[in-house]
Chain A
Amino acid sequence: AQSVAQPEDQVNVAEGNPLTVKCTYSVSGNPYLFWYVQYPNRGLQFLLKYITGDNLVKGSYGFEAEFNKSQTSFHLKKPSAFVSDSALYFCAGKRDDKLIFGTGTRLQVFP
């Protein structure tokens, strides 16, 4: 079965420190992978995607993600976290026109 896993329910980071939100996938073939962010009482906002090519993908708000085929991972990273980055982050994989979401990781950035 195709799936996307986010092993951490919550990640806590001090403001100014680098952050990583983990994602692993189990999608056959060449997966399309996405990161979305959700703020309270809002829909999801697209951050970035990996389709093909360069393994390091840059997205909105200074976020980037690295596609690692051997480890089947697509971790979201940011060099320096802001309090305003605090939100719920979802990793998603697409195969056969279906978008499969991970369970989400709550990022808490402390001042």
Chain B
Amino acid sequence: KAGVTQTPRYLIKTRGQQVTLSCSPISGHRSVSWYQQTPGQGLQFLFEYFSETQRNKGNFPGRFSGRQFSNSRSEMNVSTLELGDSALYLCASSLDETGGDEQYFGPGTRLTVT
């Protein structure tokens, strides 16, 4: 099976712009989660989607949003970019048939805001 894929891998944007990141989960996985990873804050949970519905949300401002399509692919959008949004954004998918299912991570999208 192909792993979790994320596009693009690298992105450079300027403050005030918006950005959309894409994630394709492992085939058959219905849950997709997004995380922000920075040296200072570590790994922080953004949100989780399951069957096109946002099921969980972390403590991020409304500028961060996402969606999931019927084929389980997910997108994450950040509007009005700030310098502090520079980070590695990781997407993870899981079967989610039981609470103990592990998540499989993509390689991430490295976003740099200048």
What residues make up the interface of A, taking CB atoms closer than 8 Å to B? Answer: 32, 34, 36, 41-46, 49, 51-52, 90, 94, 96-104
Contact = CB atoms under 8 A, between A and B. Distances in A.
Interface of B: 4, 33, 35, 42-43, 45, 48, 55-56, 58, 90, 92, 98-100, 102-108
Nearest to A50: B100
Binding site secondary structure of chain B: strand
Binding site secondary structure of chain A: strand
B100 A51 contact: yes
A43 B100 contact: no
A98 B90 contact: no
Contacts of A99: 33, 45, 92, 103
Nearest to B90: A43
Centre residue among B48, B100, B104, B105 by max chain A CB count within 10 A? B100
